[in-house]
Amino acid sequence: MENWKQRDSIIQNLKASGCEDMFIERFLKMLEESDTKPQLDMLQKHREFLLKTYHDDCKKIDCLDFLIYQIAKQRDKGT
Protein backbone atom coordinates (compact mmCIF):
# COMPACT_ATOMS: atom_id res chain seq x y z
CA MET A 1 0.00 0.00 0.00
CA GLU A 2 2.83 2.38 0.84
CA ASN A 3 4.31 1.91 -2.65
CA TRP A 4 1.06 3.18 -4.21
CA LYS A 5 1.18 6.26 -2.02
CA GLN A 6 4.76 6.90 -3.09
CA ARG A 7 3.86 6.29 -6.75
CA ASP A 8 0.90 8.69 -6.53
CA SER A 9 3.11 11.27 -4.87
CA ILE A 10 5.72 10.95 -7.61
CA ILE A 11 3.08 11.28 -10.32
CA GLN A 12 1.60 14.34 -8.64
CA ASN A 13 5.05 15.92 -8.31
CA LEU A 14 5.96 15.23 -11.94
CA LYS A 15 2.65 16.68 -13.17
CA ALA A 16 3.12 19.76 -10.99
CA SER A 17 6.58 20.10 -12.54
CA GLY A 18 5.03 20.26 -16.00
CA CYS A 19 6.03 16.78 -17.13
CA GLU A 20 3.94 15.27 -19.90
CA ASP A 21 2.21 11.90 -19.64
CA MET A 22 4.77 10.11 -21.82
CA PHE A 23 7.60 11.43 -19.64
CA ILE A 24 5.78 10.22 -16.52
CA GLU A 25 5.18 6.77 -18.03
CA ARG A 26 8.86 6.36 -18.91
CA PHE A 27 9.88 7.61 -15.47
CA LEU A 28 7.57 5.16 -13.69
CA LYS A 29 8.82 2.26 -15.80
CA MET A 30 12.36 3.10 -14.70
CA LEU A 31 11.09 3.33 -11.13
CA GLU A 32 9.78 -0.23 -11.37
CA GLU A 33 13.15 -1.33 -12.76
CA SER A 34 15.04 0.59 -10.05
CA ASP A 35 17.01 2.32 -12.79
CA THR A 36 17.90 5.61 -11.10
CA LYS A 37 20.62 6.91 -13.45
CA PRO A 38 18.26 7.50 -16.40
CA GLN A 39 15.65 8.85 -14.00
CA LEU A 40 18.06 11.44 -12.69
CA ASP A 41 19.10 12.30 -16.26
CA MET A 42 15.46 12.83 -17.25
CA LEU A 43 14.78 15.03 -14.26
CA GLN A 44 17.95 17.06 -14.84
CA LYS A 45 17.07 17.63 -18.51
CA HIS A 46 13.54 18.71 -17.60
CA ARG A 47 14.95 21.03 -14.95
CA GLU A 48 17.32 22.58 -17.51
CA PHE A 49 14.40 23.04 -19.91
CA LEU A 50 12.32 24.77 -17.22
CA LEU A 51 15.22 26.98 -16.22
CA LYS A 52 15.83 28.04 -19.83
CA THR A 53 12.13 28.76 -20.25
CA TYR A 54 12.20 30.79 -17.04
CA HIS A 55 15.18 32.84 -18.23
CA ASP A 56 13.58 33.41 -21.63
CA ASP A 57 10.38 34.58 -19.93
CA CYS A 58 12.36 36.89 -17.65
CA LYS A 59 13.89 38.53 -20.72
CA LYS A 60 10.41 39.02 -22.19
CA ILE A 61 9.21 40.58 -18.94
CA ASP A 62 12.24 42.89 -18.92
CA CYS A 63 11.34 44.04 -22.45
CA LEU A 64 7.76 44.74 -21.38
CA ASP A 65 8.93 46.59 -18.28
CA PHE A 66 11.18 48.77 -20.43
CA LEU A 67 8.34 49.52 -22.83
CA ILE A 68 5.99 50.36 -19.95
CA TYR A 69 8.66 52.64 -18.48
CA GLN A 70 9.22 54.40 -21.81
CA ILE A 71 5.50 54.96 -22.43
CA ALA A 72 4.90 56.21 -18.87
CA LYS A 73 7.91 58.52 -19.15
CA GLN A 74 6.65 59.92 -22.46
CA ARG A 75 3.14 60.38 -21.01
CA ASP A 76 4.51 62.23 -17.97
CA LYS A 77 6.46 64.60 -20.21
CA GLY A 78 3.23 65.57 -21.97
CA THR A 79 1.42 66.59 -18.80
- Read off the pLDDT band of 1 (50, 70, 90): very low
- Read off the pLDDT band of 3 (50, 70, 90): confident
Helical segments of the chain, H only: 2-16, 21-32, 36-78
**What pTM was estimated for this model as a whole?**
0.77
Query: Do the beta carbons of residue 23 and residue 14 sit within 8 Å?
Result: yes
Structure confidence at residue 79 (pLDDT): 64
Residue-wise pLDDT for 11-66, tens only, equals: 999 999 999 999 999 999 998 888 899 999 999 999 999 999 999 999 999 999 99
Phi, psi of 69, rounded to the nearest 5 degrees: -60, -45
